[in-house]
Amino acid sequence: MNLTVIGTGYVGLVSGTCFAEMGNTVTCIDVDKNKIENLKKGIIPIYEPGLEPMVKRNIENKTLLFSDVLKDNLENCDVAFIAVGTPMGEDGSADLKYVLQVAKEIGENMTTPLIVVDKSTVPVGTADKVKETIASELEKRGLEIEYHVVSNPEFLKEGDAINDFMKPDRVVVGADDDSAADTMRRLYSPFFRSSMDRLITMDVKSAEMTKYVANAMLATKISFMNEIANICELVGADVNKVRIGIGSDSRIGYSFIYPGSGYGGSCFPKDVKALKKTAEQNGYTPKLITAVEDVNDIQKLVIAKKVISKYGEDLSNHTFAIWGLSFKPGTDDMREAPAIYIIKELVKRGAKINAYDPKAMDEAKHFYLKDVDGITYFNSKYETLAKSNAMILLTEWKEFRAPDFHEIKKQLKEPTIFDGRNQYNETLLNELGIEYHQIGKKRP
Ligand code: UDX
């Protein structure tokens, strides 16, 4: 098929490239000319394992094209995906201005029948707005061209996005028209080798809702577990054991019940807020969803509180080695990363920070921690330790999992680790004489 993907952000670029990999001809559009020029050369603006070689391969095969002009790429296009950003508005709702701008441009320029797909994460009712916007532009042009608006939310995890797209758990398609649903089924069938059961079709509004509910459910599991971790500490239980105890119940399962320093990233924080807003706009006051967010806000600072309770409110004359800045491993993304909040909290009290992250240091320096004084960045994890009082682990990158603890002990002023991701073995660290603070288990 001939596809157009509008928006070459994370979702657009991964989706477009994977569709090209499956043999479609895909044109990816973005208003950012500089980005498009780079993409034409195979230079991608994000770090995502496996994406760059796939982009380059498909550019060479001429199955992946890039352009900054939408209007030239609608003719002969079977399906146009809207994958532009939906930033959080000031009131917590998703801002649809970019989505509706694209819809308007489609209405102004389309010449042949088209399926328009909402791929961006958009609140319930957006497909109707996209449909109305296109209709009104066609009316202005005095044209009647057949088109359908479909909802096809993405469920990609950063760091594993290619795998998620190429071998999806499920694909959700919301379509109010059978022929549009059939086209989507044909488009996705190569991604399901054995059975198409995992392509789930439904009405548009339910599909729009599914995206938010999936993310809110996962965020709820995490906040629930973080709250349990805080209770475990108070009663003298070990949340790591409780986690295994409950996960063994197949109704509960092991995934997404790891306590930590709170969830971050581009999806959970934004989607939980947006779902809450949608509920409120429809006259419902969501109590659980609100609590999920409140617990997460508190959780982001739990490690900072542990540091303060050991060293006191005044942290001048203290230096902390921070291992990990990104919101999770496998990405350079620092959006809503706990590291931002924890570092600011420590620096506010006079602390100096020695930071290292395998991928996210540029993001930190140039954006997220740009205005924060007192941070020195290092090129390796061990270099952060010299003259530091303690090491604080905030992202569970693989290279942090089994470090040389003797080296850590030798370099730190006082051998102390604060583990915001419960990665280490407490018994081992105690034997080595390293003071170990983790989430959800009080120190003996
Ligand atoms: C998430 C969804 O998983 C994905 O389906 C959706 O499309 C986008 O949002 P992503 O934000 O990339 O993906 O990251 P994910 O791996 O889900 O982790 C989200 C956050 O939850 C991270 O901050 C992670 O550290 C945290 N987390 C995850 C926990 O604290 N505990 C867990 O048990 C799992």
Tell whether 207 is covered by a domain. Answer: no
Mean pLDDT of 14-23: 97
pLDDT (average), residues 281-304: 97
Distance 267 CA to ligand 1 centre (A): 8
**Cα 183 to averaged position of ligand 1 atoms, centre (Å):** 31
| 50 within domain boundaries | yes
Residue of 155, 163, 267, 394 to mutate, ligand 1, most atoms within 8 A of C-beta: 267
> Are 378 and 402 members of one domain?
yes
Q: Which residue has the tokens 């670029």?
A: 13
pLDDT band at 242; cut points 50, 70, 90: very high
Co-location of 111 and 248 in the same domain:
no
In a domain? residue 442? no
Q: Can you give the residue range of the structural domain that contains 139?
A: 2-202
* 58 occurs within a structural domain: yes
For ligand 1, atom 27, the nearest C-alpha belongs to: 263
* CA 163, 168, 174, 179 torsion-angle sign: positive
Ligand 1 center to 182 CA (angstroms): 31
Q: Is the same domain home to 318 and 229?
A: no
In angstroms, rounded to a whole number, what is the distance separating the alpha carbons of residues 176 and 340? Answer: 43
Q: How far apart are CA 229 and CA 224, in angstroms?
A: 9
Distance from chain centroid for Cα 85: 13
CA 190, chain centre distance (Å) = 26
Tokens representing residue 25 in the block: 């001809």
Do 175 and 27 fall within a single domain?
yes
Residues with CB under 6 A from ligand 1: 154-158, 215, 218, 222, 256-258, 260, 263-265, 267-268, 327-328
Q: Which of 281, 298, 315 is a domain's end point?
A: 298
User: What CATH number corresponds to the domain at position 430?
Assistant: 3.40.50.720
Q: Which atom of ligand 1 is nearest to the CA of 155?
A: 7
Which structure tokens are listed for 375?
């941070």
Question: Ligand 1 centroid to 428 CA: how many Å?
Answer: 29
Integer CA distances (angstroms), 200 to 152, 153, 210, in order: 10, 11, 11
Residue 243 lies inside a defined structural domain of this protein: yes
Residues 174, 76 share a domain: yes
* Whole-number average pLDDT of the chain: 96
Tokens found for residue 314: 């005044």
| pTM attached to this predicted model | 0.93
Together in a domain, 77 and 95: yes
Q: Does 444 map to a domain?
A: no
State pLDDT tens for residues 126-172.
999 999 999 999 999 999 999 999 999 999 998 999 999 999 999 99
> Are 195 and 254 in the same domain?
no
Minimal-distance CA residue to ligand 1 atom 17: 157
CATH classification at residue 291: 1.10.1040.10
Mean pLDDT of the 252-259 span: 97
Residue 189, Ramachandran bin (φ over 0: left; ψ between -120 and 50: alpha; else beta): alpha
Q: Name which residue sits closest to atom 19 of ligand 1, judged by CA.
A: 263
| 3-state class (DSSP) for residue 245 | helix
Q: Do 59 and 128 have their domain in common?
A: yes
Active-site residue, from 18, 28, 232, 267: 267
Please tell me the distance between residue 375's alpha carbon and the centre of ligand 1 in angstroms. 27
- From the CA of 431, how far away is ligand 1's center (Å)? 33
* Atom in ligand 1 nearest the alpha carbon of residue 264: 23
Q: What is the CA angle 312-386-384, rounded to 5?
A: 90
Give the atom of ligand 1 at the shortest distance from the alpha carbon of 160: 12
Got the DSSP string for 193-228? Answer: SS-GGGEEEE-HHHHHHHHHHHHHHHHHHHHHHHHH
pLDDT, average across residues 424-440: 97
One domain for residues 368 and 272? no
The pLDDT, as a whole number, for residue 434 is: 98
Q: Which 3 state secondary structure label does DSSP give 416?
A: strand
Choosing from 298, 318, 338, the residue where a domain stops is: 298
Task: Note whether residue 371 is domain-resident.
Answer: yes
My answer on whether 278 and 135 are in the same domain is no
Given a contact cutoff of 8 angstroms between Cβ atoms, the answer to whether 236 and 298 are in contact is no
Protein residue whose Cα sits closest to atom 31 of ligand 1: 258
8-state DSSP, 83: -
Shared domain check, 137 and 25: yes
Looking at 251, 283, 298, the residue that finishes a domain is 298
Name the domain count of the chain: 3
What integer is the mean pLDDT of 341-346?
98
Q: Are residues 155 and 278 in the same domain?
A: no
* Mean pLDDT, rounded, for 74-78: 93
Distances (CA, A) of 373 to 353, 370, 431: 9, 8, 36
| CB-based burial, 406-440: b 16+ in 10 Å, e otherwise | eebbebbeebbbbbbbbbbebeebeeeebebbbbb
Is residue 286 assigned to a domain? yes
- Which stretches within 95-153 are classed as H helix? 97-109, 126-140
Question: Tokens 């620096």 appear where?
Answer: 347
| Whether residue 267 lies in the annotated active site | yes
Residue 107: band (very low, low, confident or very high) from pLDDT cuts 50, 70, 90 = very high
pLDDT of 337 higher than 90: yes
> pLDDT at position 194, please?
75
